[in-house]
Structures are given as C-alpha cells and as structure tokens.
Structure 1
Amino acid sequence: MASRNDGKQGNGLMERLLATFRTEADEHLGSMSSGLMALEQTPRGAASKTLIETIFRDAHSLKGAARAVNLESIEAVCQSLESVFAAIKAERLAVTPSLLNVLHESLDVIRQLLAMDSMSQGRRPPLVASMTRRLDEALQDMSTDMHTVPEPIVMHAVADPPAVLPSLAPETVRVSVAKLDTVMHHVEELLAPRLAAGQRAQELRETATMFATWRKQRVRLQPVLRLIERAALADSRQAQQAVGHQDQERYIATDSASGKRRELPRLLEYLDSEQLHMKVLEDRLAQLCRAAEHDQRTLANMADSLLHDCKEMQLLPFSSLLEGFPRFVRELAREQGKNAELVLQGGEIEIDRRILDAIKDPLIHLLRNSIDHGFAKPAERVAKGKSPQGRIIVAVSQKDSGKVEVLLADDGGGIDTASVKAAAGRLGTLSAQDAERVDEQEALMLIFKSGISTSPIITDVSGHGLGLAIVREKVERLGGSVAIESRRDEGTTFRIVLPLMLANVHGVIVRVGEQLFVIPVIHVARVARVVRGDVRTVENRETIALDGEAISLIPLSDVLELKRSRTDDAPADAVLVVVVSMARTRMAFQVDEILGEHEVLVKPLGRQLARIRNVAGACVLGTGRVVLVLNASDLLKSAVKHATAPRLPADRVPGEKSAKTEKQSILVVEDSITSRSLLKGILETAGYRVSTAVDGVDGYTTLRTGNFDLVVSDVEMPRMDGFDLTAKLRADEHLMNLPVVLVTALGSREDRERGIDVGANAYIVKSSFDQSNLLEVIRRLV
C-alpha cells in the first residue's frame, strides 16, 4: 500500500512539474521570438549584443528546465540553439536572414514538442534530429546559406514490380528485448516441473524398491508356511484316530477343533495365490518407473535445450559494452587536463545481456575513479619518472565454473590507505585502536563502505563516498564479487568476478534445525567435516584450520537469528561446515546437515519483501517445498557483526532517535521556476524544510534574515551568480561555515576549480544529476 501511494504521489508531483514547465517554456519562447524579431531590425552594436545575450540566456534556461523534467527532445534542440548563440556572441557566426529563418523554425519545433505527450517526446521525433542537424550545420559551415531546406526523401512507386520475388526468408528477425525476456522467463519456469518430474520418478523408484523388499521377505516365509501346513495335517490325523464313538462330548469338541484346522489350508492357499498378484504389481511398478524416468529425461532434455538456446540469445560480446569506453576516458581525461590511454582485452567473450546492462555503471565509475583519483597531471607524472600519459587496462577473461573476471587496472598513484583510515575514522566506521590493527588489505576494503571518501570536495565525478559502495552492491546483487589491490605510486587493480548467466543457480542445500536453505555454489569455497577437537578459540572466537589458514567458525543458526536445535547444543565428534568466500573474505558456517548440490530457480520475494537481510530470494524444490536462497554477501557481513556486535552507549535507549533526525532547513537558490520546483519537491519529500530564492541577491538577503543548515544553489543566475554568492558567504563571519552545494550545467574543469576556489562544499553537474546523489551529499554535509 505504501509503495502504491508513493507512486501516486510521484506521478502527481511530475504532473505539477510539467504544468509549471509548460508555463515557463511559453514565457521563454515568447521572449526568444520577440528577441529574434527585434534582432532583425537592430543594427550591429551594443543593442544587438544585449538582445543576443537575452536570447542566449533564455535558451539556456529553457534547456535546464527541460532537463529537470526529462524532456530530452526539447533539451536537444535547446542545446543546439545555445551553441549557435554562443557562436554569435563570440562573433564567429554572422546573423543572416537565412540563419534567422532557421532559428524561428527551431522555436516552432519546440512548440510542436510541447504539444506532444511525454511518451511521444521520449521517442525523439524525426523533426528533432532534422532541426538539430540544421543548427549544427550552421556552426560547421559558416558560409552555407541555411535558408535552403533539405529535400525530404520521397518513396517512389515502382511501375513494374519484379516477376520473381525472393523465395528465401530473412536469416534474422528483430525481436524486442521485452519479448525475449518473457520467453526466457517462461523457459526458466520449466525448471520447476522438471525438478518435480525427477522427484516423482525417484519416489516411484523408492516405492518399487520397498515393494520388492517386502516381496522377498514374503518369499522367505514360504518354507515356514509349508511346515505349518504339514504340522496341521498331522495333528488332524492324530486327533481323528484318538476320537472314540462312545465319548460323544469328546467327539464334538475334537470335531470343532478339526474344523478350525481345516480353515488353515484355505489361508495357506490364499497366501500362495498372493505371490502371483505381487508379481503383477511389481511388474506394473517397474513399468511405471521406466515410463516416469523416460518422461523425466525427455522433459529435462527439452527444458535444458530450450534454456540453453534462450541463454545463447541473451549472450552478447563484452565488446558491445566496451566500445564506448575509449572516447569516454579520452574526454574525461582532457576535461581534467590529463592524458589517459585505455587498453581493452577479451572483448570477444560473451556474457548475459542483463549482466552487461547491470555492470555498465560500476565500470564507468571505476574508470572515473582511475582518472580523477589515480592519475596526476602530466607534469607530475613525469616528475615521478612515469609516462605523461596514464594507462588503464580493462581485461575480460573466462574463469571456471561458468564465471568471468573483469580486471580494471591503472598505473596511477594508488590508494593512500592512511587517508582511507582517516576518512573511516571521521565517519565513525573505524576506531583509533582498530586503525592501528588493520592491515593494508583490510584498509583497502574500507573504501567499499558507504560515505568513505578521500576527496576534499564533492563533485559529480567524485567525493560522495558512495560510488564504490554502490559498485560492490551492484556486483554482489548479480551474484559476483569484487576485490582490490593497490600499491602506492604504482597503481590500483580491481577484480570483478561475475557469473556468465543470470538464469538458474546451482546451490548447496543445507539444513539448520528443521529448516532448509540454499547457498549459491559460486560463493562456496568448500564443504567439510571438521573434528570437534580441531576447533580452536582465538580472541573469544571459534576458528578452524583449513588449507593452513585460520577461519572463523559460526553457527548458521546464530547468523540467521534462529533458535538453536538440539544438535547445535549437543556435543558431537565432528561438525559440518560450509566455507563461504567472497572478495578475499572467508567464513565457515556450521550446519546440521548437507543435503547435496541442486540446480534451483531463484524467485524474488515480491515488492513488499524486496530486500531482506541475508536472503536473496526463494526457490521451489522438486518435493514442492519452498526454500530460501541465502545472500552470501549479507551472510559474511552478518557473521562479522555477530562476532563483533557493537554496544549502545549507556545513555542511549534502543530505537531512540537522535536529535539529528529533526527537520533541517535548506535554502534553494535557482532562477528557473521548473528547476526550483523540482529541487524543492525532492528535498521536502526527503523530510527537509525548504525555502527558495530566485537569484544570488535574493538568496543572500534570505540567509542574512533566516536560519538555515545548508544552501543548494544554481551558478548561472542574474544579478549575482552562484560563485559570487558562495564567495560572499565565505567572507561573512556569520555565514562562513554554512555548507554550499552548487548544482549547475557548467561541467568544465575550470568551472569545477572555480567552485573549489570560492569555497563550495559540493559541485554537482546537472547533466549527471541524480536525486539520490544530491540527498546523500546533503546528508553528509549537515
């Protein structure tokens, strides 16, 4: 119910934002149209420069407002318009009648886009591509007369169609990804009846075996029955000879006993006839077993074949993901004044398309980190005896057990573990005593903790302390793992291990008490039986020695917070353990029984239970029993927390909210009505009190007369921009410590450096704006 209400509230907010945007867009279009008309009548000079500046600012504001409501088509046209007016401002492009005609036509295109619904705009209508191309051509060829409209392509009818049509159907057809996913889902569902058929065949075999055992026992009784029959006949003859005609009463009694003895042969005769019926039943059971096994093999072969074919259709080479990375690295490096080369290896290896889609953002973030954190400026690299050009290697290689490894290595400055420990200490993740005991590898793994960052300022590229935590979360959600190696002044290497497929999972089924669980095989290092005497206690923790390494041992029932069974508490000569390994972390979990390895289909638990600690999903065994599939990453984290459970302060009551959860006040300084409404809605939904200002002057006046915890400001604003506002705040003794977050479309290196110089705490570029990043930045700053 909560998620449905949230969705309704989100839809209502977007509808209000779109309505506000249309009103603002009409004002900007009217102003731009009037400006173009006046520009035609105004000679070159100061007046024309003022008009050009006004139109340029309107185009920029309209672009930012369109981006805020995800109208990419309008944003694309405004981007081209802005580029044209930037060239006119710089006097690199002359204002000609033909150019003015194109500019007027571009405004008409924007009006047409405003009249469309959001779904039609999202498909990028052809007129958008045509309009942006013509505007871009004006920049590429200054001398070309833009008045000439390109002729549309006309499809002419063929007077005489060919007499013979091709007889062969096309070798390939286009199928939507949604349909392919639907087919894949249905094929995966075949795993359940396949497992059920195997279970039924096994039950029939067990029944036939039980029946055959019973029949053999029955056959062994035949000699005993024959002895009983012969003894009964002998007793009957002796009784008849002993009976006299004079003793009537004795005769009657003997005759009665003789009648009962005569019933015994009938019983023996029936037991003999049972042998035939038992043989018929045994043959019938054997026939049913053979039929069930045949049906099970047929279903298994068909299901496996279909699943294999569907998996093949889902496979894509890694090169389809990597081909856009070289340009990304080059542009990001140039933007920061650095040189970087990207080397790609193993692009021919194929992997599940869904995994490729999910791993794209983590890889992009790691590339950003390599350039932003790892590489120094060319002069600094040369001074350290390195090549002025940094090098990043992305190598994909096939591993065993259906896994693939993605290695991302750079030759940058490496990771300063001392800075990482300091950042973890400031965040409260690592105490001063623990920092002294943590080794280099453990310190490196701290960078995957949320909020830990060594960057002095938060930008859209780095500094949030969220990126690597999200990278690890997304990789582990795919059933993979990530590890890191780094050497100071030599470079950093990330190793990401992923499954090739996302379909069914091979898992080890274990029993804890009366409950069964599945642990994915990809994270199971080994299964072992350990002698109880080999369990040692180190620093109040039970450990076992495997492969020359001491591994912590913890009952799985304790990690899952289940009541211990009697077998847990009772002494035993040996314990069963499952060693779970992920990213250099290994932990042994004690279980009551290991039932073997099985192939299962993991099903989500539904939206209401989308994220439960230690649980990745559920599956149905062949017996029809529903079993939980455990999340290996959560298991390791829970085991560590259980071993080192933190204690609440003496003056802290469990569940008591701290004072920091009280509503905090934020001032949003933004000249665009749409962007201002969007930011206000996001922050108020997150629980903050929000006030707004229309420019820097209004914002500074509001800050001087009110009490605020943080400022979120645009940069390009009339009267006073965001840079000047930040500098003014830092010069004010009463406001100098107020956190400032700049949210702007200016993404160049010079603009970022200027933001740092004036004292901004965070710099977020609108082109990569994400509300979760903004909220996390604010949470860290206040």
Structure 2
Amino acid sequence: MTDDPRRPSLIDLFREEARTQARVLNDGLLALDRAPRDAAALEACMRAAHSLKGAARIVGVQVGVELAHEMEECFVAAQEGRVLLDAGWIDALLRGVDIVARIGNDDDESAREAVGACVASLQALMAGRVPHGAATRRDVTPPAGAALTANTHSAAVEPPASASAGADASADADAEFNLLAAALRAEAAPAIAATATTTADVTSRTIAPAATPATVPASTTSGNTSGAATEPGRMLRVRADNLDRLLSLSGESLVESRWLKPFAQSMLRVKRVQRDSARALDKLHETLADLKLDPRAQTALEEVRRLTAESQHLLAERLADLESFDRRSTHLSQQLYDAALQCRMRPFGDSAGGLARMVRDVARSLGKKVRWQLVGESTQVDRDILDLLEAPLGHMLRNALDHGIETPAVRLARGKPEEGTLTLDARHTAGALLITVSDDGAGIDLDALRASIIRKNLASEETAARLSEAELLEFLLLPGFSLRDQVTDVSGRGVGLDAVHDVVKRVRGTVRITHEPGLGTRVQLQLPLTLSVIRSLLIEVAGEPYAVPLAHVNRTLHVSRAEIELLEGHQHIALAGRRVGVVTAHQILDTAPPADEGDTVSVIVIGDGPQTYGVVVDRFLGERMLVVQPLDPRLGKIRNITAGALMENGDPVLIADVDDWLRSVERLVAGGNLQHTQHGVAHAAQRTTRRVLVVDDSLTVRELERKLLATRGYDVTIAVDGMDGWNAVRGERFDLVITDIDMPRMDGIELVTLIKRDPQLQWLPVMIVSYKDREEDRRAGLDAGADYYLAKGSFHDEALLDAVRDLIGEAHGQTHG
C-alpha cells in the first residue's frame, strides 16, 4: 500500500474525517457528562463512532476500526439502558476521542498500543456493567473481505430487535459517510486491493457493487457544483492566501466600479456640448433659409442636421444604458466585496470547540464542580482574530477555574451551590467584538493582591495603600505576576493574563477586569470585528496621504504655534492637565519639511502613559474604511509602514505602523535630533530637487519605490515598461533611473544598453532593482552599464535610499550659478 501514490491522499482524507468525528464525539460526551441519559447526545455519538468505523475500514486502518467499534458498542449499550455513562465511562471514552483525533496510520505502533489499552478499558467497563445473560457485542471485527459491505449496513450485521431504532438512525450516518466513500471509491479501489494478496479478490468484489449509482445520492452524481448547491452549510477548506487574494481583488473591483460614475458624468457634458452644437446648427439653418443656396449645399446642410439629431438620439440611449450598467456594476461589486469579506468571518464557536473539554478536565483535576456556558457561539469573528484568541481564552478560563471558583465544600459553606458557573460570552456591540469570561467564584482578594505587589517590589507600602481598585487590578496584567506562591500544573508562573494582554494589545484591543467580592470575577476583551478592514484617519505628509488606524489615535486637534512651548530643548503642548511632547511627522517619515507654515498646526495624539506624543501633520483628509492589503513579503519590513490600501478613487495609500512611529520618536528623543515645528526651509528656494525615473511593470513595486523616494523629497516620475522609460529619458532630464529587468516591450537590460550608448544620456546613473539575484543576472546588468544592482529579495527601504544617496546624493542639492 505504501507504494500506491493514491494512498497518502486517502489517508489525509481519513485523518480529516477522524478529526471531524472526534469533535462530534467530544461535544456529545461533554453533554452526556451533564445529562447521562440525553438521547440526542447518545445518538450523535453513536453515529459519529459508526461513521468513523466505516471510514477506517475503507482506508484499511484496522486500529481505527477496533476503537470506533468498541466505542459504538458502549453508546448502543447506553441507548438500550444496559449501562449508564457516569464520569468513569466519560473519562475512558474521552481518552478514546483523544486517540481518534490522532489516528492515521495502521502501522503506527504507539497508536496500536494506545488503542489496545483504551479498548481493554472499555471492555472492562462493559464486563462490569452488563447484567448476566444480556446481549453483549452485536458483532465482532469482520474479516477484511467484509470491511466495505459492513459500512453500508449489509445483511452481515444484524442488530438485536431492541437496537433497531439506533440502527435506523445510524443509517443516516452511513448515508452521510457514503458521500465521501462514493467520491473516493475510484481512488480507494487500488489502494484497498493492495492491502493483502489473500483478500484482494474478496475486496474488489465488495467494491464493485458498492460503486453503482444506486447507492449514491443524486447530488453527488452531478458533480461537486450541484452537490454544493443542494447542501446548505457545506464547508470547504480554502488556503488563507487565496482568500486574502480574493478579498484584495474584490476591493479593487469595487474601486474600479466607482470609476464609471465620473465617466458617465463626463459623457453628460459631451451630451450637453452636442445639444449646443445642434442648436447652433438650427440657428445657422434659419439664417440661411432666406438665401438661395446651391441645392447641393442645401442637401449637405440637411444631412448634417439629420446626422446630428441621430447621433444625439443614439448618445442619449447609450447614456441610459451606461447609467444602468453603472448601477448594476457598483451593486454587484459591493455584493462581491461584502461576500469576500464575509468569507474571512467564522463562528466564534469554531475556536471554542475544545474549551469545554479543557474546562471539564481542569475542574476535575482541581476537585471542583463547574457548569460550562458558551453564549454567542454563532457570533461572526474574523478568522485571524479567532486564531489569535485560542491561547488567551484558555489562559483566562484556567485562571478562573484555579483562582476564582471555589471547591464544592467551600461553596456550600458560603451558601452557594456546590457547582460553580463559568461563562464565555461573545457578542457584537458598538462596532466591536466583546468577549467576556465570567465566573461566580470568590472574586479577587484585593488585600492579597496588594501584599503581593509589595512583596514583588512593584510598589512601596505607602503607594500600594493609595492605589484604587482599578489600579490594583491592572497589576494582574503584568508579565510574571501571579497571586500563587507555588507553581502548579495550572498556574503560578504569571503568564496567563499577561499573554492575554499581549495578544489583545497586538490587535488594538483593550482588557478590563472587574469583580465583586464573594460573587465572582469578569474579564472583558474588546476587540475589532476584523483585521481585514480598518477605520482610519487619513492625513497628508509632504504631499502624500497616509492612513493612521483610528484605534491608535487618542485625539486630533489644531494647535496654535504660540501654544507650543519649548522646555529643556523639547517641544510640548498642554493637554488634559499634562504636558505632551510634540514631534513632526516629517521627522518620523524622514520627508522634506513643508514649504508653507501657517499659524496653526494639525496634531494627532498617539501612544499611552508616558509614551504619549503629539505628531504634527500637514493636514487632515478625513476618515475612511480601508481594506487592508498586506505588502509583498519579499519587500521585507518597511519602517513606519504596516500595510497598504486603495482609496475610493483608486489611489494607493500606505497604512502607518503606529508602534514603529512611537519607536522612531523615542530614537529621535534619545538622540537629541528633534526639530522644532518652526524649523523651516529658509534656503529651500536656493535648492533644486533631484529627479528620479522609476521604471517597473509591477504597480505594487512601482508605487512603493515612488512613495519611498517622494517622501524623502525626491521628484519621482514613473514609467510602466522599458519602452515607456526610454521615451521618458529622451524627453525630460533626470538625475537617476531605477529600472526592473523583466518588462514587456523592452526589458531593463536593453533600456540600460540604450541609455549608455546614447552620447546625450551616457552620463545618467542607472540602478537595477530586480527579483533576479543570481550572480549571472547581476553580471549581465552591470555589463550592460548599470551603476548599481539591488536584488528585491534583500530589498528594504533603507537599502534603496542608501543606494540612491550613493549615486546622486540627497534629494535637494544646491543650485549652480
């Protein structure tokens, strides 16, 4: 079987099936732990075990067959009332679920041993629970030749009469699994036929009748497309980068669709011009009516009038069609974008599936009784946020179980029910995702917390005594802080809430802890609904727009230059009773300072605590909802920039990395390089700007290089390919040409060769920036006459700027003569 190239894909599908059924079993067993006689949960578990057994038989994973069969026997016995699934049973079956989730290879010796131990445990429980004389196992593991027929409920398996209801219900599970089996039979036949030479004939005979169309529902015989149409809620796995690309393209489609409206408006102007020309022609006709014109001139004039009227009529019709198309196109593009964005959203329950099991296991290990509640399971959450939340939610729940909820004896002594309640709630509110973990435990001992703060030398005794409740609770979020003096399997290392705070801060969210002594604790996370779309403040710096995520903007204001005070060489403004340092965005982004300086400046306030700064920008451009488009990873980390986006008119805009901005400010402060906002450009008129031509057929690379150079003060012109670049250098004067190699019409090597052969241009420096970073590519570029060769694989903003400065100097040079 290992030589069959089809076998790995079949095993992969089985592993996926095993993980799916393991989730069903896990949820069902947790429900049975609360209500052992829950018929719906028993039915779901029996179906899952039966389907898993059939899947294991198809791919020949015998240990999976044995384990699933034994688990199925337990569930059937519970359905028939022969056993009661108490905590001991649930523990043993959950161990079986853990093994199911990682089964995938019949030859895996560790899996075989784990299955053997689990099966023996379940059989021992069955032997101890089944009354004397009662029916025991319905069947035994069939020979390999009967593997597939057993999965389709052939006559080889005869359940007792009392189990007929369960058997009928399990037929639905078989039908569901047969959807997978029918699609795989063509692939599975050679794989299963190769399992053993002694059973090859029997196996092939069992596959043949099973492959007939009669056993396959109509939705599968017509292909995946029709099948998907008849299966509401059907799930598919899609690569994350494909989904991101779909969202990016749908955003671009939405932007492009909005170009039709200004085009239609321009066509209306054409219509008005044509109407005016028709009126002028009518006046001309009236003027000439009294004159005796040559018949041919009269005929020509009438023909012009007729054609003008006809063209006006056609234009009106086409304009109506264009307006209709504009409405439909914009509507469809908006729907496409909304649907693509929705594809990134997943139900909150997808990440909370394993939490119920974790709560049960931790509670049992601590000797506590806990009732688990999940509220808002269907709340839609961005998949990136959902992935980030998995670990923090586990930390929060373990923290609540260990520190919050008391043992049954303590709860009874305090007049509480012995079973505590732990609730995880997810909901949308005020445009944000609100996740709350609450318990009805003892709350937080503020005296113990204050003592721990003093003991860890985080505050003096006098300071700790003055701290408010909210300030005390903030210490719980510090790295390494714990109220436990000893490290246990559950807590004591102080990484729980610290890890939660770290993740929440990364996605621009907030954490809030509240409690009521003796009644419980609540930890609330407020997070953005999605990381794909951000609400941003658009600003202008050095003539270029930038987007600053509003979640990072504390405040915007206009400040008179007279209000900016100079203290110990640093500029400050008074804000909310304290002094806030001021720095210009031009220094952060290393751009040319503005030529005009008015009496007031526009300031955005970023940061928190002592790291709060006011950043002076040229002007505010308003707020926008932007679709985040990640930069090409080959470009590396661009300092002070986190991503890009397209505005409604199609113009690109870079999204600021505010954390980088704060680090840049701190470096400027530490280095004593802060300039005053009054620091002008007195000599700007005496300086000339260096001109750079960027030649690249990639819009992303072209625009990034343009922005990097333009924000440093260079005058940048772009060309879309080598031919366009060649025409540009012959028509205008440039100080530097930056070109790619692979381009349509004329590649970069040919462009460099033409420039260096031209007597008027051979002095012009040329830099090649290309993804081709092999030595022979570099040699070809330099041999053609390039002055510098930079590989995009190692490209980052400083490398490009350093190379430009090496070749032509700073953006502004002194004028001559």
* TM-score interval (norm. to shorter): 0.3 to 0.5
